[in-house]
């Protein structure tokens, strides 16, 4: 898979993530030569996972305290979203570590 294919896939993933979270999808020029900042992208992903976990924890606490505006379905969906995002982050980390190890084993 070439660099263009990876960039296209990352763009598609960003659009799907934005749609799933209810955020507005930023317009991107077709053919714009942007170099994605990997560190910023990784930090953003980690922040989103952290935010999902904090939101889930907040809903769980609200439900435990008996807040009438919080129902069990919302709490369970939030917990599942947080769990899924964390598991995805762990898998990405595993792939990054594997890629790093493979690069380090290349004979120069």
- Tokens 């493979």 identify what position? 102
| pLDDT at 1 (0 to 100) | 45
| pLDDT at 33 (0 to 100) | 54
Cα(59)–Cα(67) distance, integer angstroms: 9
Residue 1 placed within a domain: no
In the chain, how many domains are there?
1
DSSP output for 37-94: -HHHHHHHHHHHHHHHHHHHHHHHHHHHTT-TT--HHHHHHHHHHHHHHHHHHHHHHH
Whole-model pTM: value is 0.60
Domain that holds residue 67: 37-108
| pLDDT at 88 (0 to 100) | 92
Residue 80 placed within a domain: yes
Tell me the pLDDT tens digit for each residue of 61-103.
Answer: 999 999 999 999 999 999 999 999 999 999 999 999 999 999 9
Residue 11 placed within a domain: no
| pLDDT at 15 (0 to 100) | 79
CA 58 to chain centre: 19
Output DSSP code: residue 23. P
Tell me the pLDDT tens digit for each residue of 8-61.
Answer: 777 777 877 777 776 655 555 444 556 778 888 888 889 999 999 999 999 999
């Amino acid at each position: 898979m070439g660099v263009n294919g990876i960039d296209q896939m990352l763009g598609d993933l960003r659009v799907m993530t934005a749609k799933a979270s209810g955020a507005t999808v930023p317009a991107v020029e077709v053919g714009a030569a942007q170099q994605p900042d990997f560190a910023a992208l990784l930090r953003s992903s980690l922040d989103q996972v952290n935010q999902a976990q904090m939101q889930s924890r907040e809903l769980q606490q609200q439900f435990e305290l008996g807040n009438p505006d919080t129902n069990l379905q919302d709490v369970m969906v939030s917990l599942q979203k947080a769990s899924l995002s964390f598991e995805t982050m762990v898998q990405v980390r595993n792939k990054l570590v594997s890629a790093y190890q493979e690069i380090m084993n290349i004979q120069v």
